[in-house]
Structure 1
Amino acid sequence: MKKVTMFVSKLVAVLAVLLVSGVTFAESTNPKQSHRFVVLAPHIVESMYAIGAGHQIVGTTDYADYPVEAQQIPRIGNYARIQIERVIELQPDVIIAWKTGNPPDDLARLQQLGFEVVYSHPEQLEDVASELKMLGQLTGRSQTAEQIATDYLSELDTLKRKYANATPVSVFYELWSRPLRTVAGNAWPQQQVALCGGVNPFMDAAEDYPQIGLESVLEQQPQVIIQPTQHGESAIDGITWQDYDYLSAVANGFIFHPNSDKVHRMTTRMLDELSILCTHLQTARDFYAQQDK
């Protein structure tokens, strides 16, 4: 009986290995893995590399700088203009564009020329997962993309549940200093602030990235100020908040500098900075709770 049991166990193990190997082999021999892509936004480039398809990118736009290997990809334009002649020279199988971040007239021209244009259009934090799956299908890497997407949603859900009932703390988000702009509505950073239990006094502005006056911020007396910078350091061109030491955020040292690339790009790396942001807001929350006692 023991021999039969051992035989069955070994058979199951072998079948499991064959099943996984079969899926892996099918994916590795998928002809889509040899397709050439022009990718027109930094966040799409990051996600392509995340699923193992970065080497299929033959052209991209300015500021697509992560991972380091992406810096070697030929540049064919920026958010304002695409060099259509260069795209024609590269002859990509597919162009992946950012629906709200690329010039629509150039994209329309490329479609008229017969190029297949697929759009990235993440609007909610959860959409990073669906974007990964879409890229997995395009590049023949669905299995890898599905796993990364599942892990991403799991980590995001953990953060959501952790701060779902957090005591509100008022937050001002300095998106840009000249002119002074913040976030509101459904803006990508606004969703992150809200998830962490932050309350934005400009949440109900008419647009997602409104221009505001400094006086309006000072009147609101925010408990926390978020000032994203490229490498998470002090902002050289940002507002010098230390000049306004009567603000609660300034007086108590709650000015935080998250990495702008991580928080502003719709990729899995956003979770790293989001977790840190939530921790910072919790520190401020605990401090103010003690002050109120």
Structure 2
Amino acid sequence: MAIGILMLLLVLSSHALADVCATDDTGAMLCLPEPARRIVTLSPGATELVFAAGAGGQVVAVVEYSDYPPEANALPSIGSHTRIDLEALVALKPDLVVTWVSGNPVEQVATLETLGVASFAIEPRTFEGVSSVLERLAVLAGTGAEGDREAARFRRGINELAEQYRGRKPVRVFYQVWDQPLMTINDEHLIGKVISMCGGQNIFAGVDRLVPRIGPEDVLAGNPEAILSGGADEDGNSYTSLERWQSFTSMKAVEADNLFIIPASPISRPTPRLLEGARTVCEKLDVARARLQ
């Protein structure tokens, strides 16, 4: 009898050890009986992260604007990140849904949980958070080696960039997220952290909201020395404008011609491509420094 009980305990223990577990960005632990083979991503950033973690071949559906890597364009869409087609999602029988903490509708995510669909919420807010989520997604997808390798590459690149720009002369920066309505970011936002790393001083660093709406008078009062906007597609075509600032000739950024529109996706999504976006920001701020001398 004792031997039988021992064998049962060993079997149960082996099953428990076979589970793959990770903690999401809300602090919730998710355990799957085996690595996920059918993954649905509910934000463009989540799509990029899952592919970067080596699990792109396991993604069965995405949401609108999941345009990177190019292979993601061929995947079926189940709506937008703000309006998910739950019926289509459930019909795909996913064993993992990667959600966006502040971007997906709370009610729809709760419905998924009610239906017993395994969900993993992500929203990296730091450079380390990007590397960490890559590692955790790779655990859940069974692609640990690929995820760990990409996470290490990103950490190394960010550290090298931070060292390269350490001690650069500060440049007062306004980052324009959108022009109508006028929106920016604070220093809790990853873009704010990129600006700081590059030696910039975000003139809206201390505002309460992550992505606040502001007025033109607020920008004028801050008198930035450089204005940046992530408003260009991958081909360099602008879909936002900095033209409104040109008439304010007393503003230091305008006087020095330090108005820059940069590719949007690399700087605005919390993925490994943020390293590419950060390099662009640092280079533009170096140009701005030279023009201010």
Residue 185 of structure 1 and its aligned partner are, at CA, apart by: 3.3
Please name the residue that 1:157 is paired with: 159
TM-score between the two structures when normalised by the length of structure 1: 0.83
Which of 243, 257, 267 matches 1:263?
A: 267
Which structure is larger by alpha-carbon Rg, 1 or 2?
A: 1
- Whether the 8 Å contact between 1:33 and 1:53 is mirrored in structure 2 is no
Q: 1:210 to 1:111 in 2, by over 3 A?
A: same
Please name the residue that 1:238 is paired with: 241
Larger % of helix: which? Answer: 1
Q: How high is the sequence identity, in percent, across the aligned residues?
A: 32
**What aligned pairs does 1:240-255 form with structure 2 within 5 A after superposition?**
240=243, 241-255=245-259
SS of 1:229 mapped into structure 2: strand
CA distance in 2, matches of 1:209, 1:127: 19
CA distance in 1, matches of 2:265, 2:45: 9
What is the root-mean-square deviation in Å for CA atoms of aligned residues? 1.8
CA distance in 2, matches of 1:136, 1:66: 18
CA distance in 2, matches of 1:265, 1:123: 11
Residue 164 of structure 1 and its aligned partner are, at CA, apart by: 2.4
- Whether the 8 Å contact between 1:183 and 1:210 is mirrored in structure 2 is yes
CA distance in 1, matches of 2:35, 2:67: 22
Please name the residue that 1:178 is paired with: 180
| CA offset digits 1:249-268 (Å, max 9, x no partner) | 12222111111111010111
CA distance in 2, matches of 1:149, 1:252: 38
What residue ranges of structure 1 are gaps of 5+ in the alignment? Answer: 1-30
- Whether the 8 Å contact between 2:101 and 2:122 is mirrored in structure 1 is yes
Q: How many residues align?
A: 259
Larger % of strand: which? Answer: 2
Q: 1:205 to 1:34 in 2, by over 3 A?
A: closer
Please name the residue that 2:230 is paired with: 228
- Whether the 8 Å contact between 1:39 and 1:60 is mirrored in structure 2 is yes
CA distance in 1, matches of 2:239, 2:79: 27
Please name the residue that 2:4 is paired with: none
TM-score between the two structures when normalised by the length of structure 2: 0.83
Q: 1:218 to 1:76 in 2, by over 3 A?
A: same
What residue ranges of structure 2 are gaps of 5+ in the alignment? Answer: 1-32
Please name the residue that 1:285 is paired with: 289
Residue 32 of structure 1 and its aligned partner are, at CA, apart by: 5.4
Residue 186 of structure 1 and its aligned partner are, at CA, apart by: 0.3
**What aligned pairs does 1:51-130 form with structure 2 within 5 A after superposition?**
51-130=53-132
SS of 1:203 mapped into structure 2: coil
SS of 1:126 mapped into structure 2: helix
Please name the residue that 1:208 is paired with: 210
Q: Which amino acid aligns with 2:151?
A: A
CA distance in 2, matches of 1:117, 1:236: 34
Q: Which amino acid aligns with 2:254?
A: V
Please name the residue that 2:142 is paired with: 140
Deviating beyond 3 angstroms after TM superposition, the runs of 4 or more aligned structure 1 residues are: 31-34, 232-237
| CA offset digits 1:193-236 (Å, max 9, x no partner) | 11111111211112121111102212322110002113264644
Which of 167, 170, 173 matches 2:169?
A: 167
